[in-house]
Amino acid sequence: MLTRWEPLRDALSIQRTMDRFLEEFLGRPLASTEAAWALMPHIDLYETDDAIVLKATLPGVKPEDLEITITGDVLTLRGEVQEDAVEEGATYYLRERRFGTFSRSIRLPAPVVADEAEATFENGVLTLVLPKAEGARPKLIEVKPKGKSKGKKSKK
């Protein structure tokens, strides 16, 4: 008996299987739908000597619709992309843009001073500079050569 191959059905089955595997492995549910991933902000996170810097691409988000919180060592971005009004009398051929709320949490690699954080938002890119806590900043320890002690002669 021949069975018709349906690649889309097979791909969705594989995706569901991988999602279940990762949910079991990570111990938390995944946002497996395309719509949820479409709203997820893409983030760069890097460290300098004095700060942790986060850059997030947030197209369509207004600064007033963005919330940033730090609890312990976890930074959370929450926001909303507002839906445009549907044009009355228009015939839409494509409507691919996503609207709704999003939330993304990231564990910070070092302790920070949240009260001194600076956030700027330009052209849909959020830049967040989080100064490191004093104990998390690198300390330079100078190494001095061991010298001769005063009043003592070195043995040869």
pLDDT for residue 77: 93
Q: Which of 35, 55, 26 is nearest to 126 (CA)?
A: 55
Find out whether 151 and 82 touch, Cβ atoms under 8 Å: no
Look at the block and give the residue holding tokens 């299987």: 17
Q: Which of 130, 134, 116, 136 is nearest to 45 (CA)?
A: 130
Give how far the C-alpha of residue 36 lies from the chain's centroid of Cα atoms, to the nearest Å. Answer: 15
pLDDT for residue 132: 92
Asked whether residue 26 is domain-assigned, the answer is yes
Q: CA 78 to CA 2: how far, in whole Å?
A: 50
Instruction: Give the pair of three-digit tokens for residue 129.
Output: 């500079």
pLDDT for residue 118: 95
10-residue stretch averages of pLDDT, the chain, 156 residues long: 68 73 58 55 92 92 92 91 83 81 90 94 95 81 77 52
> Are residue 29 and residue 100 in the same domain, yes or no?
no
> Are residue 77 and residue 116 in the same domain, yes or no?
yes
pLDDT for residue 114: 92
Per the structure, how many domains does the chain have? Answer: 2
Give how far the C-alpha of residue 24 lies from the chain's centroid of Cα atoms, to the nearest Å. Answer: 22
User: Residue 59 sits in which domain range?
Assistant: 40-84+96-136
Tell me the whole-structure pTM to 2 decimals: 0.62
Check which CATH number belongs to the domain holding 52 and give it: 2.60.40.790
> Are residue 77 and residue 17 in the same domain, yes or no?
no
pLDDT for residue 86: 82
Dihedral sign for Cα 20, 21, 27, 29, please. negative
pLDDT for residue 152: 52
Beta bridge partners of 71: 74
The DSSP output letter for 132 is B
> Are residue 76 and residue 49 in the same domain, yes or no?
yes
